[in-house]
Amino acid sequence: MIQPKPNDREDSTPLLEDSTQLELTEVEVLPSQSTRTKIRKPRNLPRTEPPLFTTKSMEMIASGAPVISATQAFLKPPDWSEYGQERLYFQKHFGKGRYIEFYVLNKQKHQAESISTQAEREILEQYGVMAARLHAVFATYASLQSEPWKEPFHLLGTDLIKTLKVHNSNKFTKSQKLKAVADLAWVVGTLGAVIHWFEGDMDLCVRERSLLWIVSVQEYTQPNVDGESEELHEVVIRVQPGLWTHSFLNREGAQQRKALYQYGLIPKEVFDIDPHRRKMATSMALYLIQNSRSRPNGVYTVESLLESVLPSSDIEKALSDRRYGWKLKESVDNALLTLKDNLKIDIDFDDETYPLWLRPVWSLPDEIADLPTKSETSNSWGQSGYRIATFPSIGSRQNSPSGYPCRFKSVWMSLKPDEQKRPAEPPLVPVLRGTSLIAKSRALQLKRYCLRLNWMEKQ
């Protein structure tokens, strides 16, 4: 009996259907995946300012008293005082009856609900070195406006991430970094001030509480990969400089002797310092550069410098806690080294006024640095001082190819003991150095440590 031959076409049908089904499945899945990962750029964005330091290594920055004292207000949250129940203020005196008072103003109509519902103390806890850095960025852009009290400017969140080094790690997504920038902008936008200031015959007072920076934030989102939640894709920050700029950043008014026009220079390297690992160095750099114009003679004391960037509680703790005082001394030494390395500051110690054993190890000669601490202290007693150079300052724009003054300042620190005949123990060092010569009456005679800034032409 003849058996029928198997039909190849019939046997191959199931396999053909499976392969066809596989191909169809792939065709259906791929477009779906591509649409989820497709990024849509926000449209109709307002015109934003270019990032800082794109064409030059230094930028102009407003350097009037409101800018400098606001930096201190951000750096020293513990020094704020209460004037009512859960109401806080920070006061900075400048002599001749002039002062500036800062307040937390978070009940403005333009502010987000997330910031308006917070207590002042909660907002104050978010102040710090990062807020001071963003404040410096705002002051830089404000100095570029001809009439800043009338001219708002817009900044991209992605640009600020790079400038401020926000969450400079791959552990955070772009959306998380943008959220951090937006929150920080809202916080900086809560600082208000009352200014009591007379300059000769000029009345520069701002008697009503007003914001230094009127900040609003526009967030642009896109669907997440799960199709349900959304993530930030861009943030646009609108900044309107406050009324203080009409008195302290008014070019035309200064020409008419009706206002001040105070500005300085800030180098890019200031923002390259890690604000988390090098907090004190960042604080010192911001304060010294912003304050370079208001102190033309450049004389500082260690007391004024530390009190300008540190809460008073930190200095008081250094008096009572020897170990904490030692850590503070180490922090100051490391901050100076960071300023030397990152900002290319020259630091020269004066052998006649500053003890060798007080200096940081990195500044000592090799034959001294290799000695044990005890030998270094007992055998290398002396008096010394040091100079810090390359802080930019203000001068004439003439003979400057970039249009900015090519001048720098030098910083001198010196120690003057009470008695010259005997090697008296330095007043500050016994606490900070951790020796047994702790005497509170002599511990913080910080006015005897001087910082002098001298002009030096840029080579």
User: Is residue 71 domain-shared with residue 203, that is, in the same domain?
Assistant: yes
* DSSP secondary structure letters along 324-390: HHHHHHHHHHHHHHHHHHHS---EEEETTTS-GGGS-GGGS-HHHHTS-HHHHHHHS----EEEEEE
289 belongs to a structural domain: no
pLDDT at 181: 97
What are the pLDDT digits (tens) for 334-376? 988 898 888 876 666 556 656 777 778 888 877 666 666 544 4
Specify whether the CB–CB gap between 192 and 104 falls below 8 A.
yes
Which residues, in sequence order, are bridge partners of residue 240? 214
Among 85-94, 112-121, 125-134, 321-330, the least confident range: 321-330
Interacting residues of 148 by C-beta distance below 8 A, sequence separation 6+: 142, 241, 245, 249
Looking at residue 42, its pLDDT comes to: 65
Please state the separation of Cα 91 from the chain's center in Å. Answer: 20
The tokens describing 127, both together, are: 């102040």
Of 275, 307, 341, which residue constitutes the final position of a domain? 275
Q: From edge to edge, which strands make up the β-sheet containing 385-392?
A: 300-301, 449-457, 407-415, 385-392, 347-350
- Evaluate if residue 277 carries a pLDDT over 80: yes
**Residue 14 within a domain:** no
- For residue 295 the two structure tokens come to 């102190």
**Contact (CB, 8 A) for 241 and 206:** no
Would you list the DSSP string of 40-55? Answer: PPP-SPPP-PPPTTSS
Distance CA 43, CA 54 (A): 24
Q: Kindly state whether residue 135 falls inside one of the protein's structural domains.
A: yes
Q: Can you list the positions of beta strands (E) in 188-268?
A: 191-196, 198-199, 202-203, 206-211, 213-223, 230-241, 263-267
Domain stops at, among 242, 275, 308: 275
Residues 128 and 192 in one domain: yes
Token representation of residue 176: 């998380």
Q: Residue 8 domain-assigned?
A: no
Share above pLDDT 70 across residues of the chain, in percent, rounded to a whole number: 65
**Any domain includes 300:** yes
Whether 325 and 178 share a structural domain: no
pLDDT value, residue 27: 36
Domain-terminating residue out of 275, 308, 339 = 275
Q: What are phi and psi of 57, to 5 degrees?
A: -90, -10
- Is the model's pLDDT at 307 over the cut of 70? yes
Q: Are residues 149 and 236 in the same domain?
A: yes
Residues 270 and 303 in one domain: no
User: Do residue 197 and residue 237 come from a single domain?
Assistant: yes
Residues 220 and 300 in one domain: no
231: which strand partners? 222
pTM of the model: 0.76
Rounded to the nearest integer, the mean pLDDT of the chain is 75
310 shares a domain with 234: no
Residues 321 and 425 in one domain: yes
Which residues span the domain enclosing 366? 295-459
Please, what is the end-to-end C-alpha distance for the chain in angstroms? 110
Contact between residue 88 and residue 121 where contact means Cβ atoms under 8 Å apart:
yes
Q: Encode pLDDT of 429-456 as tens digits.
A: 323 333 222 333 233 334 444 444 333 3
Based on the domain organization, do 306 and 391 belong to the same domain? Answer: yes
Same structural domain, 301 and 345: yes
Q: Looking at 183-197, 271-285, 295-309, which range is the least confident one?
A: 295-309
In a domain, residue 38? The reply is: no
The whole-number pLDDT of residue 344 equals 77
Given a cut of 90, is residue 29 above it in pLDDT?
no
Does the pLDDT value for residue 428 go beyond 90? no
pLDDT for 412: 36
Q: Does any domain span residue 290? A: no
Residue 287 forms part of a structural domain: no
pLDDT > 90 fraction of the chain, expressed in percent and rounded: 49
> pLDDT digit string (tens) for 366-417?
766 666 654 443 333 222 333 333 333 333 333 333 333 323 333 333 333 3
Q: Per DSSP, what are the bridge partners of residue 431?
A: none
Same domain, 59 and 190: yes
Report the number of distinct structural domains present in the chain.
2
